[in-house]
Amino acid sequence: MNYESLFDYCQDLEETTNNTIYYIGNKIENSLSTIAIDNNTHKIQSYSNEWLSLLKMYHLLKRPLYNQICNDYNNIIQRTDLDITYSNYNVIPFITAFSTGTIHGYAGLYSILDIYINNYDKYKDYNIIIYKDSQQGLLDIINHFVNKNIIKKEKLIYISSNIKYLFKSIKFIPVKFIIYPRHILKFDLIDNYIIEKDNLTPLENDKICIIKNTSSVNVTNNGLVDNNNVVQFCNNNKLLLIDPSQMNEIELIRLMNKSRVFITSWGTAFFKNYVYLSDKCEKIIVLVIGGFIHQYNNESRNLIKKYKNAIVYYHIIDEKLDLILDI
């Protein structure tokens, strides 16, 4: 199988009828090469990877990524090793092509969780497979629903990359979105299951700032700002600087939900976190820094202008962050 014939090998089944191989390949760009293959027909299950289902329209633009999927498929078919530990299990993947992070990983997981929780009786008898090396924030969210007994701990199966697993069947919950739909003005999943309304003590400083900087861990170099500049910027504007990589995602969500003003950098810091804001937030300020200016210009006609009660403002600025905000 090759790039030209890839989609001839795909089928759109939400539940497999035969024993099914599941494999997590290496990361390419910001995606994982996740793939599920019917062990009898060797057909690829499209819903095992958003690039084969939801995002298949990008086929011509993302050739290296699709080549990787082809390479992984050919490798899987040829390999004789097979982990049969879970070959009698019917499973649902809580895994996406973006389980290593970015806005897409979080939006995709919330998409799956929303359907799972609202159709619990339909899915309750299935085990759940989770990529053990998912970004920690994604694992924090899953663990939260386990702690609330919405997801049963005994149903979880943690799997690794580059291992050829065999399952009795796989039922997919197709990912509906990998960015938050613009019509979402109230994220019920977060409001109903994560925010504890009776335990929201006010913040002493409710002007929260998240800027991707050189002190952050587990991030790419793209868009990083010198940490000293960020600290000085926050001091000058009397902002509460937080680093999401240093806290549990549930703690971050509840902290964000208390903010009155949210200052952030363009990119994942903004697009992943703004849905955590409550009606209390009055203003969102997005700093478009350095290499993101071109992306911002391309998106200028589709910018988010308001979220709940907050007006969104955009500032193009260099890495020095020499700006005093009107807040």
> Can you give the pLDDT of all 327 residues of the chain as single tens digits?
999 999 999 999 999 999 999 999 989 888 999 999 999 999 999 999 999 999 999 998 999 999 999 999 999 999 999 999 999 999 999 999 999 989 999 999 999 999 999 999 999 999 999 999 999 999 999 999 999 999 999 999 999 999 999 999 999 999 999 988 765 545 678 888 998 776 667 888 999 999 987 765 444 445 578 889 999 999 999 999 999 989 999 999 999 999 999 999 999 999 999 999 999 999 999 999 987 888 898 888 889 999 999 999 999 999 999 999 988
Q: Beta partners for 34?
A: 24
Assigned CATH class of 205-317: alpha beta
Amino acid, res. 68: Q
Question: Parallel, antiparallel, or unpaired: how do β-strands 283-289 and 31-38 relate?
Answer: unpaired
What is the model's pTM?
0.92
56 Cβ contact list (under 8 Å, min separation 6): 7, 46
Q: What is the pLDDT of residue 182?
A: 63
- DSSP-assigned states of every residue in 197-227: GGG-PPPS--EEEE--BTT-SS--STT-B-H
d(C-alpha 91, C-alpha 86), whole Å: 9
DSSP summary character for residue 260: S
* Structural domain boundaries in the chain: 6-170, 205-317
Q: For residue 209, give Cα distances in angstroms to 232, 315, 318.
A: 12, 14, 17
What is the percent of the chain with per-residue pLDDT over 70, rounded to a whole number? 94
* Structure tokens, 299: 């998106």
d(C-alpha 76, C-alpha 21), whole Å: 9
